[in-house]
Structure 1
Amino acid sequence: MSRRIEFTAQGGPEVLSLVSRPVPEPGEGEVRVRNHAIGLNFIDTYQRSGLYPVASLPSGLGSEGAGVVEAVGPGVTTFQPGDRVAYGTGPLGAYAEHHVLPVAHLVRLPDGIGFEQAAAIMLKGLTVQYLFRQTHVLQAGDTVLFHAAAGGVGLLACQWARALGVRLIGTAGGPDKVARALAAGAWAGIDYDREDVVARVHALTEGRKCPVVYDGVGAATWATSLDCVAPRGLLVSFGNASGPVTGVNLGILAQKGSLYVTRPTLGTYASTPERLQAMADELFGLVQQGAITVEIGQRFALADAAEAHRALAGRGTVGSTVLLP
């Protein structure tokens, strides 16, 4: 038998239950991974709550983990039992001791990267990779704004920006979190609980504002983000931590300076096994070089997934969080 987290109705953390099921068998083109560590991400709370509907109920949860290939299905030739692997792009069901997934979602895990490290950074690190290296290719000397810079994605973004020579202005709630962003590599920090973000961005950029603003917060920061984008600049809206952005008036983009807006997803950028592995290789390379340090702020047992969700939603976490089966 294999333990996993399931939910039969969408709602709050209380809908998550630990159940035992037969160990799943991989089908055509699939592998079974025995998880050693599982990643926790905000998107998990969206899928649990119903903001992002799931295909059917009951459903598993989670799309990120790392472990060892235990079995392969027919037609799988690129991986074999015993291989160390990681994944961050689904399908749902990673909150489990065993996870069966299509081979196209797996990447090889270098010996120098631990299972907890990989589970903590796959989704977040690949997100930063496409934001900084594909959605807009950042260059040394660029000045960008990144909201929630002390979160799991944000702390990786601060480090990656420093490695690229990019001046990242990070927002965070409270002096402690601002200090964390600065320690991770942010060029400047803004405490959005106490400071006017737009005014500070104007001051820091001498009125030029930022050619790119990265907003994973959503509804609460949308208007602020628009006011921080330089004319003909780009607003990258990549998350909904405070709720989805709705009712967008395209005329605002003209009024603010002929702005561009994109709503990217990791799946679009990591759309083939080759692209996914190349993105992961760049991420793992930065970790191995010491340019990125993986901070795991919290560890929860798999059975305590609901408690982990409450901590995440309540802004009670720092860095990355992993579940241990």
Structure 2
Amino acid sequence: MTDQIVMLVAPGDVTQFRVEAQSIAPPAAGEVRVRHQAIGTNFLDIYHRKGLYPLPSYPAVIGVEAAGMIEEVGPGVDGFKAGDRVAYAGAPVGAYSSVRNIAAERLVRLPDGIPTKTAAASLLKGMTAHMLLQKVCQIGGGDTVLVQAAAGGLGSVLVRGAKSLGATVIGTVSSKEKADLAKSYGVDHLIVGRDADVVAEVKRLTDNRGVDVAYDGIGGDMLLKSIRSVKPWGMAITIGQAAGPIPPVAVEELRPGKSLSHPSVMAWCADIARYQEAARAAVKWMEAGVGSHISGEYALAEIVKAHEEIETGRSAGSILLLP
């Protein structure tokens, strides 16, 4: 079958995608060619497609994680060889393709026990969870955290990661079906329904104290509810805007002593040492069974359907593209 690449001709809706035949040069010095066997999708891809996070130029290829097998090694590359199973995540974008040349320092070797699809669905989410749980703040025993969208791709990894660190987890989900999934991930308390009074429920579950940390990937007016769910001197962390842009938040909402953080895993992992540390942590979590549930698979040529499914918010887990 002919290799394919998905081009984004301009920022916008899914009509801006073009699926084309792919040709590729040999890997340059320090690079390897990876044949993708599974490509992970993230809500970050939607932001890139729409231009919320603009790319340097167009046409462009988006996508920030994939897993597969090394096909060819460029000059000066040590430690990797053709046939090695590998994955990568983060910058530079460009994963929506059958094959790709990428710097060898961005690769992480996959142990035999980690399936390729699991790696493609989970590496960036595991790296993000590592940053959020152990770098932005340090979660440990005795902490109580709120995870919005606890059955989603990143939410499910945050739940299990926080539980592995000894925290009590309150999760929100939009439906009973997603509640069942979140329970399987180890959530201690669930708040179910799009119209649930999140703040009141959090206060009830914490004897009116609030949570130590709230992780909010929903955006919209939910961030304000997350801030109000945090105890004094606690932290609210905004990690996405799946429900739309976040309205202005008055600084008075942070009294007394609350913190608001808006970290970026792409910026965090621009430093290669931090990237490799986070990737190793994500691999260890995957080996321990902490990975993202795969809720759907689409052929690379079905990119429009895949993005439409992501944007519905119905999927509980990660959607893969298969070249």
C-alpha distance in structure 1 between counterparts of 2:177 and 2:25, whole Å:
44
CA shift digits 1:258-317 (9 cap, x unpaired): 211111111333344443333222222233233x25421111111111101101101231
Query: What is the aligned-residue identity percentage?
Result: 37
1:308 equivalent in structure 2: 306
CA shift digits 1:220-255 (9 cap, x unpaired): 31110111111111111111212333534334323x
Q: Does 1:245 align with 2:236?
A: no
C-alpha distance in structure 1 between counterparts of 2:42 and 2:292, whole Å:
15
Whether the 8 Å contact between 1:302 and 1:324 is mirrored in structure 2 is: yes
CA shift digits 1:72-129 (9 cap, x unpaired): 3333324332221101113222111011222232111112111101001011111111
Q: Does 1:299 align with 2:297?
A: yes
After the TM superposition, which of the residue ranges 199-208 and 49-58 deviates more from structure 2?
49-58
After the TM superposition, which of the residue ranges 279-288 and 109-118 deviates more from structure 2?
279-288
Q: Which structure 2 residues correspond to residues 33-52 of structure 1 after superposition, within 5 A?
A: 33-52=34-53
Output the amino acid matched with 2:41: L
After the TM superposition, which of the residue ranges 240-249 and 156-165 deviates more from structure 2?
240-249
1:185 equivalent in structure 2: 186
Whether the 8 Å contact between 1:63 and 1:94 is mirrored in structure 2 is: yes
Whether the 8 Å contact between 2:210 and 2:229 is mirrored in structure 1 is: yes
After the TM superposition, which of the residue ranges 6-15 and 70-79 deviates more from structure 2?
70-79
1:282 equivalent in structure 2: 281
> What is the CA-CA distance between 1:142 and the residue it aligns to?
1.1
Q: Which structure 2 residues correspond to residues 250-269 of structure 1 after superposition, within 5 A?
A: 250-254=251-255, 257-269=256-268
Give the 4+ runs in structure 1 shifted more than 6 A: none
The number of residue pairs the alignment matches comes to 322
For the structure 1 residues 216 and 294, does the alpha-carbon distance in structure 2 shift closer, same or farther, using more than 3 Å as the test? closer
SS of the equivalent of 1:131 reads: helix
Match for residue 316 of structure 2 among 310, 314, 318: 318
Q: Which structure 2 residues correspond to residues 1-325 of structure 1 after superposition, within 5 A?
A: 2-254=3-255, 257-290=256-289, 292-325=290-323
C-alpha distance in structure 2 between counterparts of 1:238 and 1:193, whole Å:
19
Output the amino acid matched with 1:2: D
Output the amino acid matched with 1:150: A
Whether the 8 Å contact between 2:147 and 2:171 is mirrored in structure 1 is: yes
C-alpha distance in structure 2 between counterparts of 1:237 and 1:281, whole Å:
24
> What is the CA-CA distance between 1:212 and the residue it aligns to?
0.7
Listed as ranges, the gaps of 5+ residues in structure 2 are none
C-alpha distance in structure 1 between counterparts of 2:26 and 2:76, whole Å:
14
Whether the 8 Å contact between 1:161 and 1:186 is mirrored in structure 2 is: no
Whether the 8 Å contact between 1:235 and 1:260 is mirrored in structure 2 is: yes
> What is the CA-CA distance between 1:320 and the residue it aligns to?
1.3
- Quote the RMSD (CA, aligned, Å): 1.7
For the structure 1 residues 238 and 55, does the alpha-carbon distance in structure 2 shift closer, same or farther, using more than 3 Å as the test? same
Whether the 8 Å contact between 1:24 and 1:99 is mirrored in structure 2 is: no
CA shift digits 1:43-93 (9 cap, x unpaired): 101111111111111111101000112223333324332221101113222
> What is the CA-CA distance between 1:193 and the residue it aligns to?
2.0
Q: TM-score, normalised by structure 2?
A: 0.94
Whether the 8 Å contact between 1:161 and 1:185 is mirrored in structure 2 is: no
Output the amino acid matched with 1:29: G
For the structure 1 residues 3 and 145, does the alpha-carbon distance in structure 2 shift closer, same or farther, using more than 3 Å as the test? same
Listed as ranges, the gaps of 5+ residues in structure 1 are none
Output the amino acid matched with 2:75: P
SS of the equivalent of 1:312 reads: helix
SS of the equivalent of 1:190 reads: strand
